[in-house]
Amino acid sequence: MTPQIIIIDDDPVSSKIAEISILRKKPDVRVTVFNNPIEALDSITTNYPSFSQQFSTLLLIDINMPEMSGWEFIESLNQNIPALEKKFKGIILSSSVDPADIQKSKEYPSIVHYLTKPFTLDMANTIDQWFA
């Protein structure tokens, strides 16, 4: 299955940095960027049956977004997609260094890791370990 990374981050600069970094180190990975979590939610919910057939999917999720926080996004996705953690893995990618946020990320079974911005080339190098 083709590896796929979906970036959900309202900040276009930050998501661009992640996208360029991943493509530079892992050119085989399909990268999709959503700058609006609500659009991301709609799109992923609609497409996940075909996604799960074709792709091995990893989500990169920001926390502080105006339309919907990263936590709300994960919870909505959990409601929309039964047994989400078996289908997708998620990684938090946030500028927050608040220990409370890092702790909170551990409460979600589908979230496997917490990365602090910026997304680096080193992170891109080791990102494949998180594909299911």
Partner 1 sequence: MSTSEEKIIFLENKIKEIQEMQATIHYIVMAVMAKNTIKDVLWEITQNCIHRLGLQDCVIYLYHDEDQTLRQFAALGEKKADGSWEVVNPIALKLGQGIVGNVALTGAPEIISDTSQDDRYVQDVEGCQSEIAIPIKLGDKLIGVLDSEHPEKNFYQPKHLEMLSTIASLCAFKIDSLHNMDKLIRTNAQLRIAQKVAQLGAWEYHNVTQRIYFHPKVEELMEKDQSVRGLTFEELENILHPGDIDFFRSSWKDYWDTGEAPPGYLRITINKQERFVIWRVADTKDQLLKNQAVVTGIFFDITEIKKLESQKDSLVNELSKRNQSLSQFNKIISHNLRAPVANMIGILQLLDVLDVQSPEYKSMQNELGQLANGIDHIIKDLNGALSSTTEIKESKQKVYLKETLLAVVDLLHHQIKEVKPNIIIHTEDAPYAFAYPAYVHSIFYNLLSNAVKYRSTDRHLEIQLRSEMLENEIKIQFQDNGKGINFNKNKDQIFGLYKRFHKEIEGKGLGLFITKQQVEFMGGEISVLGNENNGLEFTILLPKS
Asked if 112 and 100 touch (Cβ cutoff 8 Å), the reply is no
Residue type, 30: R
d(CA 91, CA 58): 7
* Cβ-based nearer residue to partner 1, 82 or 99: 99
Map residues 36-65 to x or -, x wherever contact with partner 1 holds by CB under 8 A.
----------------------------x-
Asked if 24 and 124 touch (Cβ cutoff 8 Å), the reply is yes
Asked if 96 and 73 touch (Cβ cutoff 8 Å), the reply is no
* Cβ-based nearer residue to partner 1, 38 or 112: 38
Q: Which two tokens stand for residue 4?
A: 């796929």
* Cβ-based nearer residue to partner 1, 11 or 85: 11
Out of 13, 28, 50, 53, point to the residue binding partner 1 (CB under 8 A): 13
Binding site for partner 1 (CB under 8 A): 11, 13-14, 16-18, 20-21, 24, 64, 66-67, 95-98, 116-121
